[in-house]
Structure 1
Amino acid sequence: MKQVICVKWGAAYGAEYVNRLYGMLRRHVSGDFRLVCLTDDADGLRPEVNAYDLPELGCDWPKRSMGKWRKLVLWSEDLGEKTGLSGPVLFIDLDSVIVDNIDGYFTHGHPDDVVLARNWAKPLQKLGQTSVFRFPVGRHPHILRDFRADPQGVSDRHGFEQHFVTAAVPGGIKYWPHLWTRHFRLHCLPPFPLRYFMPARLPSGARIVTFPGGPNPGDVLVGRWTQQEPAHESPWQHVRAAFAKGVTHRWRHLRRYVRPTPWLARHWVE
């Protein structure tokens, strides 16, 4: 039985994201699998999804931090007892898009390895990225324990949950084969200004496309960077908007342009 886990809390992602993840898994996983969702609101989830209450972080939330520290509850000693999970389990962020068979994610390396995607935004620092990672349930409880002992200190030293995990795994983390897990902004989106004329491409060999730091796949699907922007905006409309009254970050606005992305319509569906 292949095991997958996701985390849903707050209002950023509704039940449709979990249900869509289940549908993508059904199409791209051979044989039986189990999807566990840790959540603060299980309303609307498909009955095939095993939903459990999302544990509390167990400490004060760090100040001045952008890290998604709530994901550290995955390293709790009693996760297996609460969910029935054991051995290696694959975590997938809800804003990820599965585009091909992912059986290899369950068998790559040793079952006790902690396997992360590379942090492609900082390739020379040998950091991991936790949009898609595999870990042995209950094997490294010190990660959550050490964070709870000094959450602000951990945040100040590492900045992000995934940087802390990279440093905290005994013996070091492993990485997925580099073609498997692709970063949308860095591997799919054409460089500026070509993105004004070309849609994002689906890289050859990709199995999962991740969207860390945005834009959200739901927005990319309709050709916008955020929900606050108009969908299907033409290049000229977007350029004009950069010089509208009140816009202070014009260069950032100009670079944040994306055309509607047809391959998402095929893959990012329940």
Structure 2
Amino acid sequence: MKKQFMCINWGPKYGAVYINRLYEMVARNTTPPFRFVCFTDTREGVRPEVDCFDLPEMPGFMPKNTIGQWPKSRLWAPTLGDLEGPVLFLDLDSAIIGSLDPFFEFGDPEDVVLARNPAKPLHRLGQTSIYRMPVGALAPLQAMFAADPQAVADEYRFEQHFVTKNAPGGVKFWPRGLVAHFRIHCIPRFPLNFFLPPKPPKNARVVIFAGALNPPDAIAGRYVERLPHLPRLAHLKRALGQKKKLKAMRQFFYPAPWVAEAWEGKSPGNPD
């Protein structure tokens, strides 16, 4: 299976810095040859090894009353630039800490393969922070979404739930352990979060950052950007002054230098 990667960038939140970081992590952790494609509304500052294409048209309209990354529905188009066959999608805020080759060795080239949603393990839901599909395989979903975007968003809430439930032929999930969710898998559970630093699972290759907590936050040891990291006793004092005290205490974690190492090219990775 040929190794093709794609990502998507819209608006000012990420831009060239994140695109380039993701490319560099892919290059360090993939046996060549491979191709890296970005669908983006800006090309300024993007390194030349990245093949940039304009954003595909948004199907229908953007839902206004429901959360979720619905701009990703652009990638369900029948054609994507000049890509053909299976392609591996990665969120721009992913951290790659091991070889990506297994993501091209698993399953059949015609499969749609998603990360598992660890927040609701009994629901058998997927996450599209990292997924593989043949180009055009989700085109029927784009047509369904375009017919009434708000109704689809209201029913499924998140685009990844819509993909999980409606992908033609169903979906598969990556083998357990390949993909780690930073908040759920890496931060020790309360109260151990006050004593032990975040660590990735032993065999993880990609760490995803769902929600507001992103790699810069993991590096800084903060749950949200507006609340800076504090020493544990200072954090505890701050938490006790908040309305949801237990929730605030669970949000303490130490900085994760291994995330910075992955982004800066110094990650030891994991053996195959």
For normalisation by structure 2, the TM-score amounts to 0.92
User: Corresponding residue for 2:231?
Assistant: 234
Instruction: Give the partner amino acid of 1:26.
Output: A
Equivalent residues of 2:59, 2:142 under 8 A apart: no
- Give the Cα–Cα distance (whole angstroms) in 1 for the partners of residues 194 and 226 of structure 2: 19
User: Corresponding residue for 1:261?
Assistant: 256
- Give the Cα–Cα distance (whole angstroms) in 1 for the partners of residues 149 and 236 of structure 2: 42
- Give the Cα–Cα distance (whole angstroms) in 2 for the partners of residues 49 and 128 of structure 1: 27
Instruction: Give the partner amino acid of 2:236.
Output: V
Instruction: Give the partner amino acid of 2:246.
Output: W
**1:47 Cα shift?**
1.0
**1:55 Cα shift?**
2.2
User: Corresponding residue for 2:268?
Assistant: none
- Give the Cα–Cα distance (whole angstroms) in 1 for the partners of residues 207 and 142 of structure 2: 27
Instruction: Give the partner amino acid of 1:20.
Output: R
Q: 2:148 aligns with which of 147, 150, 160?
A: 150
User: Corresponding residue for 1:35?
Assistant: 36
Q: 2:117 aligns with which of 102, 116, 119?
A: 119
1:85-129 residue CA offsets vs partner (Å, 9 max, x unmatched): 100000000111111111111121010000001111111111111
Equivalent residues of 2:221, 2:254 under 8 A apart: yes
Instruction: Give the partner amino acid of 2:239.
Output: A
**1:263 Cα shift?**
1.4
1:171-205 residue CA offsets vs partner (Å, 9 max, x unmatched): 21011001101111111110012111211012111
User: Corresponding residue for 2:269?
Assistant: none
Instruction: Give the partner amino acid of 1:153.
Output: A
- Give the Cα–Cα distance (whole angstroms) in 2 for the partners of residues 139 and 58 of structure 1: 16
Q: How many residue pairs were aligned?
A: 264
Does 57-66 or 99-108 show the bigger shift? 57-66
- Give the Cα–Cα distance (whole angstroms) in 1 for the partners of residues 55 and 248 of structure 2: 36
Q: 1:173 aligns with which of 171, 174, 181?
A: 171
Q: How does 1:157-168 map to 2 (within 5 A)?
A: 157-168=155-166
Q: How does 1:159-238 map to 2 (within 5 A)?
A: 159-231=157-229, 233-238=230-235
Counterpart check, 1:9 vs 2:34: no
Instruction: Give the partner amino acid of 2:61.
Output: D
- Give the Cα–Cα distance (whole angstroms) in 2 for the partners of residues 39 and 122 of structure 1: 31
Percent identity between the aligned chains? 47
Q: Does the residue aligned with 1:268 lie in a helix, a strand or coil?
A: helix
**1:168 Cα shift?**
1.1
Instruction: Give the partner amino acid of 1:41.
Output: T
- Give the Cα–Cα distance (whole angstroms) in 1 for the partners of residues 98 and 62 of structure 2: 37
**1:248 Cα shift?**
4.1
Q: Does the residue aligned with 1:36 lie in a helix, a strand or coil?
A: strand
Instruction: Give the partner amino acid of 2:262.
Output: H
- Give the Cα–Cα distance (whole angstroms) in 1 for the partners of residues 247 and 12 of structure 2: 26
Equivalent residues of 2:223, 2:252 under 8 A apart: yes
Q: Does the residue aligned with 1:25 lie in a helix, a strand or coil?
A: helix
Instruction: Give the partner amino acid of 2:251.
Output: R
User: Which of structure 1's runs of 4+ aligned residues deviate more than 4 A?
Assistant: none
For normalisation by structure 1, the TM-score amounts to 0.93
